Amino acid sequence: MVVVLIPSYKPDEGLITLLEQLTAQKRYEGVVVVDDGGGAEYSDYFDRAARMEGVFVTRHAVNLGKGRALKTGINEIMRRYPGAHVVTADADGQHTPQDIARVADALEAGDGSTIVLGKRVFGKGTPVRSLLGNTITRWVFALSTGKKVYDTQTGLRGLPANLLPEMMNIPGERYEYEMNMLLQAPRDGAQFEEIEIETVYINNNAGSHFNPVRDALRVFSRVLSFAASSMICFAVDYAGYAVLLELFDLRPEIAYLGARLISSVLNFAINRNVVFGARKGSLWKQIVGYYALAALVMVLGSLGVDWGTRVLHINEYLIKVIVDVLLSVLSFLGQRLVVFRPAKAKQA
């Protein structure tokens, strides 16, 4: 059972045409349209939609953003059609009825934990902003999540019924919500399946609200938060070292180990709960994995500094910076892929 969800702000006749095509297919349990506060000038389109058989229209009094419109629609579908899967589609004609049906078919054939994404193929004729934006976010998304998604900006998505309650809790009220959905999904044990769809740009994609720099930074947030976590713990480590050395008059090597233990506990807590959002994983397995990785990094760091100063004759302060930067990449990847890896896919 599939319901199509169409958020719409300022529609034109294309919305009515799309609804007529979808209802004529007799493929769906229903179609839910969200009027995102377009105002009186556009109310006639929504009134006509509401009179169509199989179409339900819910309205925002003011514009609240696409993210909120999607959440409103998902909530309405869970209430009206319990157990239904959801296919989200844009109201501007970018998604054909045939492709919407293909996503619905893949969704129903799935395992109940896989999000189906309509994948546009970018090439000759693709607006430069769309090509640049999707290329940047594709690579950054893969680095920060370990998941490959070719078209991170697609609005044609199939959402399994058992993931809908979690979709309601994802932050974001406007266009950032769709990116946050992709970032959150692996943490909740969801997988991605992409199926190729027709690439349609209306007026050279002039209505797109995608900002390549802003959205790339949003995808890169996990890497940035990991760096911030490391900097915070670096400060705690040195402060703890000074306190143990000066106030408790401990030997330097003992103060070093004590400070590193304190900062590592803080680093583990921040990375587990904030950076990687891995609270659902086994705490003890994560602790063992984290400290095993930390020990490996310390050994490699010691060897790297020794080799750099003795063989390459690099300044001892500079080589430490170089080694620490390289090992921070290893630490990030190790924590993301092994220690705090995403939850396993849920069974339908």
Q: What is the pLDDT of residue 14?
A: 92
pLDDT tens digits, 263-287: 889 989 998 888 777 777 788 999 9
Q: Which domain holds residue 147?
A: 2-219
Q: What is the pLDDT of residue 144?
A: 67
Helix (H) or strand (E) holding 34: strand 30-36
Distance CA(41)–CA(280), nearest Å, equals 48
213 and 247 inside one domain = no
Distance CA(163)–CA(327), nearest Å, equals 36
What is the pLDDT confidence band of residue 47, given thresholds at 50, 70 and 90?
very high
Helices 252-270, 221-246: axis angle to 10 degrees equals: 150
What is the pLDDT confidence band of residue 118, given thresholds at 50, 70 and 90?
very high
Q: Is the pLDDT of residue 98 over 70?
A: yes
Closest CA to 176 of 326, 67, 292: 67
Q: Is the pLDDT of residue 343 over 70?
A: no
Structure tokens at 300: 């490699």
What is the pLDDT confidence band of residue 48, given thresholds at 50, 70 and 90?
very high
| Look-up of token digits 């900062």 | 263
- Cβ atoms within 10 Å of 7's Cβ, excluding its own: 24
Helix (H) or strand (E) holding 307: helix 283-310
Residues in the chain: 348
**Which residues face 85 on adjacent strands?**
2
160 and 306 inside one domain = no
171 and 314 inside one domain = no
277 and 326 inside one domain = yes
Q: Are 43 and 129 in contact (CB under 8 A)?
A: no
219, 243, 267 — which closes off a domain? 219
What is the pLDDT confidence band of residue 327, given thresholds at 50, 70 and 90?
confident
219, 253, 277 — which closes off a domain? 219
Q: Is the pTM of this model over 0.75?
A: no
More confident residue, 285 or 337: 285
Distance CA(117)–CA(159), nearest Å, equals 9
What is the pLDDT confidence band of residue 146, given thresholds at 50, 70 and 90?
confident
> 251 in a domain, yes or no?
yes
| Most confident range, picked from 76-90, 179-193, 252-266, 274-288 | 76-90
Distance CA(236)–CA(266), nearest Å, equals 9
Q: Are 160 and 107 in contact (CB under 8 A)?
A: yes
DSSP state letter for 280 = T
105 and 214 inside one domain = yes
Q: What is the mean pLDDT of residues 26-40?
A: 95
Question: What value does the CA radius of gyration of the chain take, rounded to a whole number of Å?
Answer: 25
Kindly provide the b/e burial profile for residues 304-313, where b requires at least 16 CB atoms within 10 angstroms of the residue's own CB.
bbeebbeeee
| Look-up of token digits 């556009």 | 42
CA dist 160 to 28, 127, 165, 319, Å? Answer: 15, 31, 10, 50
Q: What is the pLDDT of residue 226?
A: 65
Q: What is the pLDDT of residue 100?
A: 96
pLDDT tens digits, 192-235: 999 999 876 555 444 444 455 565 565 566 666 767 887 888 88
Q: Is the pLDDT of residue 115 over 90?
A: yes
Lowest-confidence range among 26-40, 67-81, 124-138, 246-260?
A: 124-138
Kindly provide the b/e burial profile for residues 226-246, where b requires at least 16 CB atoms within 10 angstroms of the residue's own CB.
beebbeebeebbeebbeebbe
Lowest-confidence range among 55-64, 87-96, 102-111?
A: 87-96
Helix (H) or strand (E) holding 35: strand 30-36
Q: What is the pLDDT of residue 168?
A: 93
CATH of the domain at 18: 3.90.550.10
Q: What is the mean pLDDT of residues 109-116?
A: 93
Q: What is the mean pLDDT of residues 121-127?
A: 63
Q: What is the pLDDT of residue 185?
A: 83
> 347 in a domain, yes or no?
no
> 348 in a domain, yes or no?
no
DSSP for 223-248, written as a single string? HHHHHHHHHHHHHHHHHHHHHHHHTS
219, 236, 252 — which closes off a domain? 219
Q: What is the pLDDT of residue 348?
A: 44
80 and 179 inside one domain = yes
Helix (H) or strand (E) holding 6: strand 2-8
334 and 264 inside one domain = yes
The per-residue pLDDT of the chain, averaged, comes to: 84
6 and 104 inside one domain = yes
Structure tokens at 36: 């995102």
Q: What is the pLDDT of residue 347?
A: 46
> 252 in a domain, yes or no?
yes
pLDDT tens digits, 286-314: 999 999 998 898 888 888 888 888 888 88
More confident residue, 178 or 146: 178
Contacts of 125 (CB under 8 A, 6+ apart): 201
Based on the structure, what is the number of domains in the chain?
2
